Amino acid sequence: MVTLYSLIMIVMLQNTQKLGELILMVSQMISELQKFLLTFGMIIIIFIVIGRQLNSEFKIEESSIFQIVLDIFDGLNGK
């Protein structure tokens, strides 16, 4: 009886250890995503704002955000 409870406890502790590793991995991924957004987020937002303003000045038809980013990219590459 004692050995059965001991085995059950060992299995539960092993599962808890795996869960702890997954939680640490997810928290590390969240931290890296925050660093990325802090680094490149303002650049992305500036591109979208400039594109929206240029879109209202130079284009008559409506465009999606993807088309605006593509137009800015093409403009920077000289197309």
pTM: 0.43
Q: What is the pLDDT of residue 60?
A: 67
CB 71 within 8 A of CB 52: no
pLDDT per residue over 20-78, tens digit each? 787 788 889 988 988 888 888 888 888 888 878 877 666 666 778 788 788 878 888 87
CA distance 68 to 52: 7
Q: What is the pLDDT of residue 76?
A: 81
Which among 46, 57, 51, 45 is positioned nearest to 71, based on CA atoms?
A: 51
CB atoms under 10 Å from CB of 51, counted, come to 20
| Tokens linked to 44 | 């992305």
CB atoms under 10 Å from CB of 6, counted, come to 10
pLDDT per residue over 3-20, tens digit each? 777 777 777 777 777 777
Which stretches of the chain are DSSP H helices? 2-58, 65-77
Q: What is the pLDDT of residue 71?
A: 81
